Amino acid sequence: MSISGVPKDDLPDSETERHAALRDYFCDIDGDATLSHAGWDIALHWPGGPDRHVDPRLTEGLVWWGDGVTLPTMVHARRRRGRILSALYDTWTLHSWSEWIRRERVSRDERLVVLHVDDHRDLGSPRLFESDGTWIDSITRNPCRLDQPDTVLAAIESGAIGMGSFMTPFLHGFPGTEVRQLCQPPKAGPTKDFVIELTSIRDTLIDRRRVRPAISLSENTDGGSCGRYRLTTSPTDWLDELGDQRILLHIDMDYFNNRYDGDTDWQHRAVPLDPPNDQLLAKIDEVTDALAHAVRADQLVDIVVAYSPGFFPAEFWATATQRLIPRLERIYER
C-alpha cells in the first residue's frame, strides 16, 4: 500500500520527527516516506520487527494462537465460534458489527447498547474522509459503508480504521447508541456519564482539505440528541437499567491486564494495570457473573473478544481464554 504526492511541507525534514509524525498519524501501521518531485511518497506496511512489539513473550502467544500467524500478519488473525468472534486486533469488532448490521438490516434509528470492556475508549478518528454522506478510505480512496462488510474489511486491512478508532464510525452510523465502558483504575474512577457528540476533524496529512469523523464526550448530560457514554469501574453501574435494547459486547483483554499499554517504556510506568494471573481470572469471573445476571441471552446479538498484542500480556492468552470463552458461551446459550 502506498500514498503519493503528500505535500513536502506536511512532513518534517528531520527523519526522527518525520518518523514520529507518521506513527502519530497512522498508529497501527508503519509508514516510510521518500521525497520525490511531487512530494512525499509514503509506503505503508504492517510492522514485523521485534522492536515495534513491546511484549517480550509475544511469539509465545502467536504459537498458542496457531494458524501460522506472524508479527506482520497479526492484523488479519481472527476466528469465529458461534456468536463469539476472537481476534488479535480489536479493530475486527467493527467488521463483526457490520456483518450483523447487514444480516439483520439494522435501522440507523435503532437504540443499541455497546457494552465496552476495555482499558481504552477507542474513540479516535479513523482515517476515513467524509464525502457526500458516506466515507472514503483515505488510503485506497474506496468507499466504506457499515452495511457493506467487505468495505469495512478493506478499510481495516488498509489501516484506515485501526485500534483506537473502530468505535467512531459505528457511533456516527448509529447515533442513538449508548456505550457502557467498564474500565479499571488507574484509567477510571467513580462512575461518570457523558453525552456523545458527533463531530469531525480536519485531516492533517493526506489531504488537509478533507474532514474525518470524530467523537467528543460532553459532561452536559441534560442535552444532546445522541447516545450516552458511561465510564465506570463498577460492574453494577455498568449494567444498571439496561432496558430491552439489543446489546453488542466488546471485550478487550487489556481490561484485565494492560501491563504494556503499547509503550516501549512500559517498565518505567508509575501505576501499570498488571495484576497476577489469579486476580485476572477472578476479574473474568466477576465480569461474566455480572453479565449472566443482567443480560438476557436474546439481547446479546454479538460478542467480540480481542487480545491486543502489546497491551494484554501474551503469557496470559491461553489461561484467560480457557476461563472466559466457556463462560460467555453459557450466557448466550441459556
Q: Are residues 109 and 247 in the same domain?
A: yes
Q: Are residues 132 and 256 in the same domain?
A: yes
Of 32-41, 62-71, 281-290, the range with the lowest mean pLDDT is 32-41
Mean pLDDT of the region 88-113? 96
Positive or negative torsion for Cα 193, 197, 198, 201 = negative
pLDDT digits (tens, 9 = 90+) for 81-93: 988 999 999 999 9
Give me the domain span that covers residue 28.
1-45
Of 36, 35, 29, which Cα lies nearest the Cα of 12?
A: 35
Return d(Cα 302, Cα 290) in angstroms, integer: 17
Q: Beta strand 113-117 with 84-87: parallel, antiparallel or unpaired?
A: unpaired
pTM: 0.93
pLDDT band at 30 (very low <50, low <70, confident <90, very high): confident
Q: Which residue has the higher pLDDT, 265 or 67?
A: 67
Q: Are residues 11 and 55 in the same domain?
A: no
pLDDT at 126: 96
Q: Are residues 220 and 108 in the same domain?
A: yes
Q: Are residues 40 and 71 in the same domain?
A: no
Which DSSP string corresponds to 106-170? --TT---EEEEE-SS---PPPSEEEETTEEEETTT--EE-TT-HHHHHHHHHHTSS-TTTSHHHH
Measured CA distances, 243 to 42, 111, 296 (Å): 48, 10, 10
pLDDT at 9: 85
C-alpha cell at 203: 485531516
Provide the mean pLDDT of the chain: 92
Q: Are residues 226 and 85 in the same domain?
A: yes
C-alpha cell at 230: 458511561
Q: Are residues 282 and 201 in the same domain?
A: yes
Positive or negative torsion for Cα 187, 192, 193, 198 = negative
C-alpha cell at 179: 456505550
Q: Are residues 127 and 26 in the same domain?
A: no
Mean pLDDT of the region 101-117? 95
Q: What single-letter amino acid sits at 80?
A: R
Mean pLDDT of the region 102-110? 94
Task: Please determine, for residue 19, whether its predicted confidence score (pLDDT) is greater than 80.
Answer: yes
pLDDT digits (tens, 9 = 90+) for 251-310: 999 999 999 888 777 777 778 899 999 999 999 999 999 999 999 999 999 999 999 999
pLDDT at 221: 61
> How far, in whole angstroms, is CA 164 from its chain's centroid?
4
pLDDT digits (tens, 9 = 90+) for 193-244: 999 999 999 999 999 999 999 999 998 666 555 789 999 999 999 999 998 9
Q: Are residues 161 and 234 in the same domain?
A: yes
pLDDT band at 8 (very low <50, low <70, confident <90, very high): confident
pLDDT band at 13 (very low <50, low <70, confident <90, very high): confident
| 117: region left, alpha or beta (phi > 0 left; psi from -120 to 50 alpha) | beta
Q: Are residues 40 and 57 in the same domain?
A: no
pLDDT at 223: 56
Return d(Cα 255, Cα 3) in angstroms, integer: 35
pLDDT digits (tens, 9 = 90+) for 128-179: 999 888 899 999 999 999 999 999 999 999 999 998 999 999 999 999 999 9
Q: Are residues 204 and 109 in the same domain?
A: yes
Q: Which residue has the higher pLDDT, 20 or 173?
A: 173
Assess whether the previous peptide bond of 186 is cis (omega < 30° from 0): yes
Q: In the block, which residue shows the cell 522492536?
A: 51
Q: What single-letter amino acid sits at 241?
A: E
pLDDT at 201: 96
Number of domains within the chain:
2
Return d(Cα 300, Cα 179) in angstroms, integer: 14
Of 9-18, 61-70, 118-127, 163-172, the range with the lowest mean pLDDT is 9-18
Q: Are residues 143 and 8 in the same domain?
A: no
- φ, ψ of residue 90 to 5 degrees: the values are -75, -5
Return d(Cα 153, Cα 94) in angstroms, integer: 9
Return d(Cα 253, Cα 277) in angstroms, integer: 13
| Cα atoms in the Cβ-side hemisphere of radius 13 Å centred on 205 | 23
Return d(Cα 62, Cα 75) in angstroms, integer: 12
